[in-house]
Structure 1
Amino acid sequence: MEKQLFIASRVREVLLNGHWIANTNYQEQLADISWEQAILKINNLNTIATLTYHINYYLKGLLAAFETGKLEINDKYSFDLPEITSKTDWDELRHDFIRNAERFADKIEQFDTEIFSQPFFDEKYGSYLRNMEGVIEHSYYHLGQIVLIKKIITQ
């Protein structure tokens, strides 16, 4: 399997439809969360909505960077979730997340294999491969948090 197809399938696995590593994925976990549950604060943990926004922030920012050639996202803004006050707000965030996840995987599939060894916008960020693997690992990290928070609020 070509590297771009392999990486895209790993992205889809964690975000959209996989069960191999975590026995679940974002799309599955978020599907039955109400907006009230999504914004429920448990102690000092992030909310499910905040974690969803956080991963979506990077997906959206990387998609923009692939289009423009400029990486303009900043970690300090990645948790700046706009207020969610209704089912509509939550549904919009979830749908935007799923749409960006699909677009992100599709974009990776279109990469030439050679890009994975090239610098990711700036040499200080390492290679494309390192960053795509980072997106996957970062997504699994926060998926685990979502699963645990969901268990706490639905027991």
Structure 2
Amino acid sequence: MSSALQLAKRFREVLLDGFWIANTNFKDQLSDVTWEQAVTNVDSLNTIAMLTFHIHYYIAGVANVLEGGDLEIKDQFSFDLPPIESAEQWEVLLNRLWTDSEKFASLVEQFDDSKLDEVFVDEKYGTYKRNIDGMIEHAYYHLGQITLIKKMLTPL
């Protein structure tokens, strides 16, 4: 299996369908979270909705680059979640995450392995491989947070 296919598989595992590393994934963890739970604050932690928006923000932004566009995202805006005040708004956010995650993985699958060693936008960002690996690691980091917050919100 090519490196690009392996990266796409690892990305799908954390976002959409895997259970190997964390015994869960974003889709699994978020499937039964209500919009009320998603926006509930636990102490000073980010909400589940905020973390979901945050990871989606980066997936969509990097996917734009993978499609040949510019890197338009800025860290300072990565937590600018518009208010979620209904189940429908929560579902829209989730569906955008699933759709853009599959798009991201499909774009990675189309890469030649040689493309993975090329500079991603600017040398300061490293290679495409480094950035795709970073997306996977970033997703696992926030998946752990979501899992813990969800447990804190669930009555015994």
Q: TM-score normalized by structure 1?
A: 0.98
Distance 2:66 2:20 in 1: 28
How far off is 1:59 after superposition? 0.8
Distance 1:36 1:58 in 2: 24
| Conservation of the 8 A alpha-carbon contact between 2:60 and 2:100 | yes
Q: CA RMSD in A?
A: 0.8
Letter of the 1:78 counterpart: S
Q: Are positions 1:96 and 2:87 aligned together?
A: no
Distance 2:118 2:5 in 1: 17
Query: Structure 1: 5+ residue runs without aligned partners?
Result: none
Q: Which moved more, 1:63-72 or 1:1-10?
A: 63-72
Q: Which residue of 2 aligns with 1:145?
A: 145
Q: Would you say how many aligned residue pairs link Structure 1 and Structure 2?
A: 155
How far off is 1:152 after superposition? 0.4
Per-residue displacement from partner, 1:32-60 (whole Å, max 9, x unpaired)? 00000000000100000000000000111
Indicate the structure with greater helix content: 1
Letter of the 2:31 counterpart: A
Q: Which residue of 2 aligns with 1:55?
A: 55
Distance 1:2 1:62 in 2: 21
How far off is 1:72 after superposition? 1.1
| Conservation of the 8 A alpha-carbon contact between 1:69 and 1:121 | no
Identity of aligned pairs, percent? 53
Taking a change above 3 Å as real, the CA distance of residues 126 and 66 of structure 1, as seen in their structure-2 partners, is same
Distance 1:9 1:77 in 2: 28
Query: Structure 2: 5+ residue runs without aligned partners?
Result: none
Q: TM-score normalized by structure 2?
A: 0.97
Q: Which residue of 2 aligns with 1:7?
A: 7
Per-residue displacement from partner, 1:104-124 (whole Å, max 9, x unpaired)? 101100111101111111111
Q: Which moved more, 1:26-35 or 1:63-72?
A: 63-72
Q: Which residue of 1 aligns with 2:114?
A: 114
Per-residue displacement from partner, 1:91-116 (whole Å, max 9, x unpaired)? 00000001011111011001111011
Name the SS for the 2:104 alignment partner. Answer: helix
